[in-house]
Structures are given as structure tokens and as C-alpha cells.
Amino acid sequence: MLTEELRNEAEPIIEAIYNDTFIQGLIHENIEADAIIHYLKADSLYLKEFANLYAMLIAKTDSRETVKYLLGQMEFLLEGESEAHAVLSQAVGMTYEEITDEGVWYPSADHYIKHMYFNALTRENIAFTLSAMVPCPYVYRRLAEKVMARHTFEADHPYRGWFEFYARDMDDTLDVMQTIIDNEAEKMSEDDLRQIKRNFMESTEHERRFFNMAATKERWMEVGIHV
Ligand SMILES: Cc1ncc(CO)c(N)n1
């Protein structure tokens, strides 16, 4: 199975993300409030575009089942993940709405989002875009799994609910995305397969860059965006 191979290939990157500042900061409760705020400002825009990408995929598929799945995913995105974001917002003593009142396309988030759009805009087969999107649920699920296996959190640990959310709620998304990619992959040319693999690995690296973006409070240096 292609996606199984990709998951194995991504494992060292996910282990690196686990050891980077952001996730370690959540585990050990020593993350800076500003890093969380930075993350949420970028993530609210990322998830909004992620929902828009699902809408673009709906227009590309002629399978009723796939349309139903994509609609369900849009709903999950627009509603469900607020639970995870509420955990982070609460930890810095603000509401999610206050923090994300103005979202920001910081450079790494910008690059990641445009990587997904490039595939949606240039490829008819939805497997290309999905291969760039699936590391989103996968990396978080895998990170949460690792964290829960290696740590026991007290009931009042401020980020416990964040890890629990991603350990619990990503499986349906993952299953469908992976099935579509694996089915399409069986019919693909070597060149297209290479692109699918590259999309997946690039997005996995984008996930790492996204957390590091927040940890370092990355900003545009020369463009006049002073936010
Ligand atoms: C950047 C990013 N990747 C993955 C997820 C998980 O949905 C998220 N919220 N944000």
C-alpha cells in the first residue's frame, strides 16, 4: 500500500517534530504564550483554506460517496476542531475568537497552504491534492499517539485535552483520504506516483515548519506586513 509506505517514510520527521520546541513545550508546560498565539493565528487561516480545498475537490469528483465524505469533513473542520483550539486559547487566557480576530499568513504557513492549492489548481485527479492534505490529520494523530504512549498527564494538565482530541478524532478522515489515494495510485504512471510521494513528504515537512514557525514567531522580514 502506497500510503503505508509513506507513513513509514514520514516517521523520522514526526519523531523530529515530537522533539522540537513546540510539542516539547506543550508536554512540559513551558511553551511561550506568544508561540501559542502565533500558532493559532496561522492555524485559523490554514483550516479555513483546508475547508475551501475540500470544496474544490467536491467540484472535481463524480463519486457521490466521495462528495458525502468531503462535506462531512468540511463540517468537522468548521465545527469540531474548535475543541482543540479552545484548549490552547484557554491556556493563554484568551478566547479563540480574540486571538484569531486577525489571522496571519506567516511565511511557513503561507508556503504550506499554497502547496496544497497548487495541486488543487493544476491537477484534476483529487489524489494529488489529498496527498498534500493527508499529513495534516496524520501527523497530528501520530504525534498525539506518541505523546499519550510516553506520558501520563495529570487531570489538570493544560494541554492534555489538545493531545486527547488528536489521538481520538482523526481516524475517519485518515481512512477515507488514504483509501482514495491508494486506489488512484494503482492506476498511475511512475511520474505521477513520484509526485504523490513528494507531495506527502513535503507536507509532512511543512507540518514541522509550521510548529517551528510558531515556536520562533516567524515573520516576513521585508514585506510591509507588521502584524
Ligand atoms: C497546520 C496544521 N496541520 C494539521 C492540523 C490538524 O488538523 C492543524 N490543525 N494544523
Q: What's the CA-to-centroid distance between 159 and ligand 1, angstroms?
A: 16
Q: What's the CA-to-centroid distance between 193 and ligand 1, angstroms?
A: 24
This complex has an ipTM of 0.98
Q: Is 226 part of any domain?
A: no
Q: Is 99 part of any domain?
A: yes
pLDDT at residue 5 is higher than 80: yes
119-140 average pLDDT score: 97
Q: Is 222 part of any domain?
A: no
Which of the following is catalytic: 11, 15, 49, 207? Answer: 207
Q: Is 223 part of any domain?
A: no
Distance of CA 186 to the CA centre of its chain: 26
Query: What pLDDT does 190 receive?
Result: 97
Domain that holds residue 73: 2-215
pLDDT band of 25, cuts 50, 70, 90:
very high
Indicate if 136 belongs to the active site. yes
Nearest to 121 by CA among 28, 57, 26, 78: 57
At 148-181, the pLDDT tens digits run: 999 999 999 999 999 999 998 778 788 889 999 9
Q: Is 224 part of any domain?
A: no
Cα–Cα distance measured from residue 220 to residue 227, given in angstroms and rounded to the nearest whole number: 9
Q: Is 220 part of any domain?
A: no
Q: Is 138 part of any domain?
A: yes
CATH number, residue 173: 1.20.910.10
Q: Within 10 A of 150 (CB to CB), how many other CB atoms are there?
A: 9
Cell of 121: 489548481
Query: What pLDDT does 225 receive?
Result: 59
CA distances from 139 to 23, 73, 200 (A): 12, 17, 11
Mean pLDDT, the chain, integer: 94
Residue whose CA is closest, atom 10 of ligand 1? 43
Cell of 177: 483520504
Q: Is 64 part of any domain?
A: yes
Mutate to test the pocket of ligand 1, among 26, 202, 207, 213 (most ligand atoms within 8 A of CB): 207
Mutate to test the pocket of ligand 1, among 41, 74, 210, 211 (most ligand atoms within 8 A of CB): 210
The residue written with cell numbers 506516483 in the block is 193
Q: Count up the domains in the chain and report the number.
A: 1
Cα–Cα distance measured from residue 106 to residue 84, given in angstroms and rounded to the nearest whole number: 21
pTM of the model: 0.95
